[in-house]
């Protein structure tokens, strides 16, 4: 179903599936040593484009989701480190354009289904707490009242969402701004892999059923849109394989690794069901279907246990979720579009999860204003195999859970911090003592980031550091009128140490 508009732009349907805490090495298309096969996700690579150098803007959930929807680096927002929580207010301001806003203006039907994790306004009883980003607060909410400033006011005509991660209360579905039930209190689950925090839970909400339930909602939406004359955009944000790791009985033991491996196979199964829905409605060939992850695998996957099965979620890369190292940020990124992509191929072009906005704008012939998508570059030329001469991105900025920065340009990566900036070694004051202030790696020769070349190539360090500072000060990394970051001009993480 291509829709042809007056400007001569073809508008295919768009489905973006974002996994939660899925490692680069968890997709067997990318990992020849994977302990299990992910046939549905692999099929996207076998028949489309597999990006091998795709990075998230951040090594954790919320900031990557912000960048995906806005085309702007997360550290330009008010969130300088960490994530939002289940009762947090909205991170994306009303006036900021999102991918969904832009596509709605191009006559797309738009839907968000899944894990939002960007905050919204609950209807609190009384004034509500001052610190909404405190993970330990349990404020009194009137769940009979609709939320405000959620997906429906950020460009989505339909939404069916959970507030945050599946281990963060409250555990309630919100459909088109309205909670579907008034939840009651439940106890915490302390199981290592099945962990979730104590909190309010809706009567229609079962942690183990959330993944298939959200998948069914996505399929229902696709079925309903099949007869619509307008194209549609679905952003399906999976809550898995993030904790709680709760594969249903159908997948238990299927991976021959551990519960996490089984859960990854369930994620693959849900992707397959979405693909089947598109095929059943005759939409698969005319739909851009993109599968990726919000960051690398979490240590909750139990890397030691997986290693016994010969599986490494991080593949050959260093670190894991939360880290500034590659395994925290390099993710699978597969694009299927049979009617728009000739053949299948792999691309080592550097792309970012901030690039959706510019790509879809390019696709629909949309001119973006200067105050939108400040860090977004179109990867449509790669999909269409067009000549574009130089790399799409001049450089790419990365961010860790602690708010530490890295910048990549061509084969070089400069980390402006002595350690991981996250959860892996080195990350304590004792670990960092005596280490160089910065880290410089040649990812082409050293993808595992073992050899710090910071003292061997001081000119490269200065070049990348200066470029990062320009990107920060100008409020953008794309050409255009300089913009303003939210928050102070310079904050703690930008007070660079010298070599």
Superfamily of domain 9-383: Alkaline Phosphatase, subunit A (3.40.720.10)
**Strand 184-186, strand 178-179: pairing:** unpaired
Tens digits of per-residue pLDDT, 35-47?
A: 999 999 999 999 9
Instruction: For residue 284, give the nearest of 5, 33, 47 by alpha carbon.
Output: 47
* pLDDT tens figures, 167-198: 999 999 999 999 999 999 777 676 778 888 99
The predicted structure's pLDDT at residue 185: 78
Backbone phi, psi, residue 498, to 5°: -95, 160
DSSP helix, strand, coil percent of the chain (3-state; round to 5): 25, 20, 55
Contact 212, 263 (CB under 8 A): no
CATH number of 396-494: 3.30.1120.10
Q: At a CB cut-off of 8 Å and minimum separation 6, what does 228 contact?
A: 109
Q: Which of 213, 215, 222, 313 is nearest to 261 (CA)?
A: 313
Separation between Cα atoms, residue 8 and residue 227, nearest integer Å: 22
Segments making up each domain of the chain, as ranges: 9-383, 396-494
- What does each of the 499 residues of the chain score in pLDDT, given as a tens digit? 223 333 334 699 999 999 999 999 999 999 999 999 999 999 999 999 999 999 999 999 999 999 999 999 999 999 999 999 999 999 999 999 999 999 999 999 999 999 999 999 999 988 778 889 888 889 999 999 999 999 999 999 999 999 999 999 999 999 999 999 999 977 767 677 888 899 999 999 999 999 999 999 999 999 999 999 999 999 999 999 999 999 999 999 999 999 999 999 999 999 999 999 999 999 999 999 999 999 999 999 999 999 999 999 999 999 999 999 999 999 999 999 999 999 999 999 999 999 999 999 999 999 999 999 999 999 999 999 998 888 999 999 999 999 999 999 999 999 999 999 999 999 999 999 999 999 999 999 999 999 999 999 999 999 999 999 999 999 999 999 999 999 765 555 555 555 5
Query: pLDDT digit string (tens) for 404-414?
Result: 999 999 999 99
DSSP 8-state secondary structure symbol assigned to residue 341: S
Cβ neighbours for 114, distance < 8 A, ≥ 6 positions apart: 18, 160, 161, 162, 214, 218, 235, 236, 237, 238, 239
What is the model's pLDDT at position 10? 65
DSSP string, 145-169: SPPBSSGGGTT-SEEEEESS-TTSS
Alpha helices in 283-422 (DSSP H): 303-308, 326-329, 356-364, 380-383
Report the Cα–Cα distance between both ends of the chain, in Å, rounded: 56
């Amino acid at each position: 179903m291509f829709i042809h508009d007056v400007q001569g732009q073809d508008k295919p349907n768009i489905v973006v599936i974002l996994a939660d805490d899925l490692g680069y090495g968890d997709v067997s298309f990318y990992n020849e040593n994977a302990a299990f096969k992910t046939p549905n996700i692999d099929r996207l690579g076998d028949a489309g484009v597999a990006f091998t150098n795709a990075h998230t803007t951040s090594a954790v959930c919320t900031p990557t989701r912000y960048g995906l929807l806005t085309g702007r680096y997360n550290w330009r927002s008010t969130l300088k480190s960490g994530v939002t929580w289940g009762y947090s207010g909205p991170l994306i301001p009303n006036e900021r354009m999102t991918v969904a806003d832009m596509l709605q203006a191009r006559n797309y039907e738009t839907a968000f289904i899944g894990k939002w994790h960007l905050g919204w306004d609950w209807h609190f009883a009384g004034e509500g707490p001052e610190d909404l980003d405190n993970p330990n607060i349990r404020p009194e909410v009137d769940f009979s009242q609709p939320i405000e400033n959620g997906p429906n006011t950020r460009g989505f005509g339909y939404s069916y969402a959970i507030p945050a991660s599946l281990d963060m209360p409250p555990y309630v579905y919100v459909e088109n701004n309205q909670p579907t039930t008034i939840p009651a209190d439940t106890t915490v689950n302390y199981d290592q892999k099945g962990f979730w925090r104590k909190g309010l839970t809706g009567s229609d909400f079962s942690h183990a059923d959330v993944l298939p339930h959200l998948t069914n909602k996505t399929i229902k939406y696709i079925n309903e849109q099949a007869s619509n004359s307008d194209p549609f955009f679905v952003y399906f944000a999976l809550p898995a394989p993030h904790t709680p790791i709760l594969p249903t009985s159908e997948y238990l033991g299927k991976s021959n690794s551990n519960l996490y491996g089984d859960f990854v196979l369930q994620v693959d199964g849900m992707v397959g069901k979405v693909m089947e829905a598109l095929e059943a409605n005759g939409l698969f060939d005319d739909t851009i279907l993109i599968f990726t992850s919000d960051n690398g695998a979490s240590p909750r996957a139990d890397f030691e246990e997986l290693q016994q099965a010969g599986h490494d979620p991080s593949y050959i890369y260093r670190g894991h979720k939360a880290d500034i190292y590659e395994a925290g940020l390099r993710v699978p990124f597969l694009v299927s579009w049979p009617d728009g992509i000739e053949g299948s191929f792999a691309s080592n072009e550097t792309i970012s999860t901030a690039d959706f906005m510019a790509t879809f704008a390019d696709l629909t012939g949309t001119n973006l204003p200067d105050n939108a998508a400040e860090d977004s570059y179109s990867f449509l030329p790669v999909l269409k195999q067009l000549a574009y001469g130089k790399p799409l991105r001049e450089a790419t900025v990365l961010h860790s859970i602690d708010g530490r920065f890295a910048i990549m340009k061509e084969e070089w990566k400069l980390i402006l911090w002595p350690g991981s900036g996250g959860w892996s070694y080195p990350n304590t004051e004792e670990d960092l003592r005596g280490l160089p202030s910065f880290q410089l790696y040649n990812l082409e020769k050293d993808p595992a980031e073992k050899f710090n070349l910071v003292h061997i190539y001081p000119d490269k360090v200065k070049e990348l550091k200066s470029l990062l500072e320009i990107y920060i000060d100008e409020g953008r990394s794309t050409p255009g009128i300089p913009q303003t970051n939210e928050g102070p001009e310079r904050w703690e993480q930008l007070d660079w140490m010298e070599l």
